[in-house]
Structure 1
Amino acid sequence: MKRVSLALSVTLLGGCTLGPDFKAPQVTGPVVWTQGSAASRTVDKGISPQWWGIFHDATLTRLITRAAQANLDLKAATARLMQAQAERRVIGGDSQPSVNGAVSYQRARNSQEGLQDISGLDGKRAYNVWQPGVDASWELDMWGRARRELESASASVEASADLRRAVLLTVQAETAGDYIQLRGIQAQRATTEQNLTVAEHSLKLTSVRLSDGVATQLEVAEARAQVAAIQARLPILEQQQSHLINALSYLMAEQPGALSRELNGVKPLPLTPVEVPVGLPSQLAQRRPDIRAAEAQLHAATAEIGVATADFYPSITLSANAGLQAMQFNQLGQWGSHFYNFGPGLNLPIFEGGRLRGQLALRKAQQQEAAVHFQQTVLKAWHEVDDAMVDYDTHQRQRQKLVTVVEDSQIALDNAQRQYIAGATDFLNVLTVQQALLDAQQSLVISNTNVSMSLVRLYKALGGGWEKAYPGGTV
């Protein structure tokens, strides 16, 4: 019997693990990235975790650092991660033996007319009961239910950590995007003010020529209308600048306008380098946090099938209780006050009204949904990267043409002004050429902004850099 009991104990303690084992799904994609024809080209080199450093803008780096420390969305994601970690600790503790100590004291008196009085006092007077003791219990993980629960909880922690990384990447990309747009708006404002100076000079020139009897009142009115048209652009640009500063302030959990003093004033628009490291296509699944999170969620859903399967099988709980009980405190030290009990308990599900089968079917359907979500996430990632690379190349080629447009428009304006002074052309031609130059300059600034913005979107699509550590541990 001892040998049989020992063999049974080893079998119960070893147990088995029910349900399917998780296997990471294979991710297929392009072998190489599509290469564009623009001046700044993507190269298959490793991406720095501080990918925004490619713009060589100290202010941008400072803003992203502050946003990573203060952003409220990121703090909420960190709190969700800490919740997942705490839940894993709770589930891990459930699989371990439980030991509890208790001490109780009761002052009691039994009824003289009721059930048998075990105190022996016939209900004539009150008595004391002192009882210190220890309870212990442990449910044997015969079928791997607890192991599957812990596996699911660990995968959920992985998913929470990667979802936090996704929020961090979004905050970084939004900060970089808003900052680049802000510098672009400020560049448009500087260009508009330069053209306003030229237009005001033209207005003075036509006014002098009107006094000399060379120009007409029509030319003066046209020059004055040109000045007003350029001035009308400035309030909209100021409004956009204010909104972008507020957007950056919000990302850093600051009050509206908190960054105005720091960000006001024209500074160069962050431009792209000649080479842009984008890593290898095979690294995308390991770098994009949403793909990693989807894989972890699939892992958790797969483990839950094992939990639901184990519910069909019996469970065995080992329990023990030992302590002291006496009616007088000084009797607790006597051997006769000792008591104990121990033994196994078996729980066998016989009829659950279809609940267990429904639970298993639910877990399997959730696992299928998680598998589809993973495939959808991977496919969406490839599309986002491909679109971002196409956008980056397209905006650069557009910028190259706009540079030529601005250069030629400047030459045309210089010639038109000289011809007007010489009387070889009318003032309407000067206004037309000046308007064309202003539009071309504004388009070039917008194009420069779009090139830098498309690079930010490209790095976001690529998953940015890689942040290994997270609060509370390392995944």
Structure 2
Amino acid sequence: MSRSMTVSRLALICMALAGCQVGQDFQRPSSSEVQWLPVQGETAASRVEATPVKARWWEVFQDAQLSSLIDRASASNLNVQIAGARLAQSRAARQVVAGEQVPNVGGNLGYQRKRNSGEGLNDPSGHEGKSAFSQWDGGISASWEIDLWGRVRREVEAADATVEVAENDRRAALLALQAEVARDYLQLRGVQNTLSVTRQNLDLSRNSLELSQVRLSSGVATDLDVAEAAAQVAAVESRLPVLEQQQAQLINALGLLLAQTPRALQAELEKPVPMMAVPASVPVGLPSELAERRPDIRRAEARLHAATASIGVAEGDFYPRIVLSGNVGMQALQLSDFGNWGSRQFGIGPQISLPIFEGGRLRGMLHLRQAQEQEAALAYQQTVLRAWQEIDDSMSLYNASQLQQRKLEEAVHQNRIALSTARRQYVEGAVDFLNVLSVQRTLLATQEQWVQSSTTQAQALVGLYASLGGGW
């Protein structure tokens, strides 16, 4: 058999073996299909629909300022930038691992002034260690591990899955940021509307105080009526500083999300706007698409993928490693001889290493990777179940907050009628001033509850979109 045929056959054998791959291929886990469950009890006007979710889901509120804040936060938020830096790190780590798939080639060139021992094995200078000499070295070396069992390929596969984990970490950070900006913004608008309601009630309280003072001067009221009216004014006024502090705190919270200094957004956000109406229908996508949208589910799947590939890496350590290496270069004692044909040197050949006794280290590593895969599989199931629970809770909260707001709106309307009636009856002398104050306190409390329910309703919609994974 000729030498060329032998080399060719060895090459074909290596190529065939290189097609082998230790470990099992990753199979995407199947999650039980769950439909959007109907809300129990009475349903509200705004309902969910199994239609595609828009990527910019916050635009359902039709608030240009909210959209601007989310866009700016997405570009400047530090947590999102940190997640992006971690993603860059995982991609760089993947590049390091992938470098093992290709040959490593290096060159060297060096000079040494040396003196060997006269009692040693040899002295290339021929002076028996009695004088120093120069040595010039240079050449090119190369090495390549033949990935016969697919161990390196499994390492690259695990690294790819780790990159996907980092990508979904960044997606989760971005989705959480967008939801947090929307929640804080809606809470701010709720506080500002509560401030507006409180100031309106303050005007009513002051009018009641003026009315009681006029009636006192006319002899048809008592000092008790005036004192109670003054106390009501002071009680309403006491609410304003707390609400103003909450407004400033929420503006600063939004500024932090946008990587701004305190009070940087105050001029932009201190002007109140009416509460936003929710849409008549809410697109929530298809249940089968949930695993593709929620970053936590995709992240859990990628971690399971990485754990599965790591088992193949651990199994590959049981097999021999074959490294092809070679070098060619020159060595001379005189610089003038460095380029001569006689100064050439080379070496080439395979190196085979086989684990014989490792004290159970390799077996223990394999068991560790298998246990980690089992943990990742259980974590995936838990993530999916938690996702369905969050969605169902969000839908129930959204429906309940709408029903509550509708009832409170009717309560506010009736309390206004009651206050107007009580004030008229007080002027006519049919009721005492305590009835007027009682109805006014009830109106103020109901109005605040209505504003809070409007805020809760809008925030529930934000929570629903966040639980759905946004509109990816």
Q: Give the structure-1-normalised TM-score.
A: 0.96
User: Is contact 1:33-1:281 (8 Å) kept?
Assistant: no
Aligned partner of 1:379 among 380, 385, 390: 385
8 Å contact 1:29–1:382 — kept in the other structure? Answer: no
- The residue number in structure 1 matching 2:173 is 167
Q: Determine if the alignment matches structure 1 residue 421 to structure 2 residue 423.
A: no
Alpha-carbon distance, 1:392 to partner = 0.2
Per-residue deviation, 1:150:
0.2
C-alpha distance in structure 2 between counterparts of 1:208 and 1:166, whole Å: 62
Specify the code of the residue in structure 2 equivalent to 1:367. Answer: E
Match of 1:138 in 2: 144
- Aligned partner of 1:388 in structure 2 is 394
Give, in angstroms, the shift of residue 451 of structure 1: 0.3
Structure 1 match to 2:11: 9
Partner of 2:34: 30
Q: Tell me how far apart the structure 2 counterparts of residues 37 and 164 of structure 1 sit (CA, whole Å).
A: 36
**Per-residue Cα deviation, 1:328-378 (whole angstroms, up to 9, x for no partner):** 222222211111010000100000000000000000000000000100000
Give the Å deviation of 1:120: 1.6
The equivalent of 2:102 in structure 1 is: 96
For residues 219 and 124 of structure 1, the distance between their equivalents in structure 2, rounded to whole angstroms, comes to: 119
Q: Distance in 1 between matches of 2:294 and 2:393?
A: 16
AA at the equivalent of 2:445: D
CA distance in 2, matches of 1:136, 1:33: 63
The whole-number CA distance in structure 2 between the counterparts of 1:253 and 1:99 is 46
Q: How does 1:238-253 map to 2 (within 5 A)?
A: 238-253=244-259
Distance 2:236 2:327 in 1: 89
Of all paired residues, the percent bearing the same amino acid is: 53
Alignment size in residue pairs:
466
Corresponding letter in the other structure for 1:77: A
Moved more, 449-458 or 40-49: 40-49
- Aligned partner of 2:27: which letter? K
AA partner of residue 7 (structure 1):
R
Which deviates more from structure 2 when the two are superposed, residues 43-52 or residues 123-132? 123-132
Letter in 1 for 2:30: Q
Return the match for 2:25 from 1, 6, 21.
21
Which stretch has the larger CA shift, 253-262 or 144-153?
253-262
Tell me if the contact between 1:105 and 1:129 (Cα under 8 Å) persists in the aligned partners: yes
- Who is 1:281 aligned against? 287
Which amino acid letter does the alignment assign opposite residue 139 of structure 2?
A: G
CA distance in 2, matches of 1:110, 1:5: 42
Per-residue deviation, 1:30: 1.8
* SS class of match (2:277): coil
Query: How far has the Cα of 1:34 moved from its partner?
Result: 2.4
Equivalent pair of 1:246/1:257 in contact (CA under 8 Å): yes
Equivalent of 1:236 in 234, 239, 242: 242
Selected match of 1:55 from 33, 48, 61: 61
Work out the CA distance in 1 between the residues paired with 2:430 and 2:23: 90
Aligned position for 1:66: 72
Q: Name the SS for the 1:325 alignment partner.
A: strand
Q: Secondary structure at the match of 2:81?
A: helix
The unaligned stretches of length 5 or more in structure 2 are none
Where 1:116 maps in the other structure, the secondary structure is: coil
| Structure 2 counterparts to residues 204-219 of structure 1, below 5 A | 204-219=210-225
Contact persistence 1:104–1:131 (CA under 8 A): yes
Q: For residue 402 of structure 1, what is the aligned residue in structure 2? A: 408
Question: Normalised by the size of structure 2, how large is the TM-score?
Answer: 0.96
Q: State the secondary structure of the residue aligned to 2:167.
A: helix
Residue in 1 that maps onto 2:131: 125
Aligned residue for 2:332, secondary structure, equals coil
Structure 1 stretch 415-424 or stretch 352-361: which is displaced more?
Answer: 415-424
Q: Is the 8 A contact 1:47 1:278 kept in 2?
A: yes
Match among 34, 50, 72 for residue 44 of structure 1: 50
User: Is residue 159 of structure 2 the alignment partner of residue 153 of structure 1?
Assistant: yes
- Decide which moves more: 262-271 or 100-109: 262-271
TM-align CA RMSD:
1.3
Deviation by residue 1:88-128 (Cα, 9 ceiling, x = unmatched)? 00000122100000001112233444443222233343322
Q: Are residue 311 (structure 1) and residue 313 (structure 2) matched?
A: no
CA distance in 2, matches of 1:117, 1:344: 30
Per the alignment, in what secondary structure is the counterpart of residue 377 of structure 1?
Answer: helix
- After TM superposition, give the deviation of residue 275 of structure 1 in Å: 1.1
Quote the Cα distance in structure 2 between the aligned partners of 1:168 and 1:34.
Answer: 30
Aligned counterparts of 2:13 and 2:419: Cα–Cα separation in 1? 93
Give the letter aligned to residue 87 of structure 1: A
User: Residues of 1 paired with 2:249 and 2:59: CA distance?
Assistant: 25
Q: Equivalent residue for 2:362?
A: 356
For the 8 Å contact 1:13–1:140, the answer to whether it is kept is no
CA distance in 2, matches of 1:65, 1:320: 56
How far the C-alpha of 1:71 sits from its partner, in A, is: 1.0
**Matching of residue 189 in structure 1 with residue 195 in structure 2:** yes
Amino acid in the other structure paired with 2:11: S
Counterpart pick for 1:347 among 350, 353, 363: 353
Contact 1:13-1:141 at 8 Å conserved across structures = no
Work out whether 1:198 is the aligned partner of 2:204: yes
Counterpart residue type for residue 176 of structure 2: T
Structure 1 position 233, deviation (Å): 1.2
State the alpha-carbon separation in 2 of the partners of residues 373 and 116 from structure 1: 64
Unaligned runs of 5+ in 1: 467-475
Shift of 1:280: 0.9
CA–CA distance in structure 2, aligned partners of residues 74 and 151 of structure 1: 26
In the alignment, does 2:229 pair up with 1:223? yes
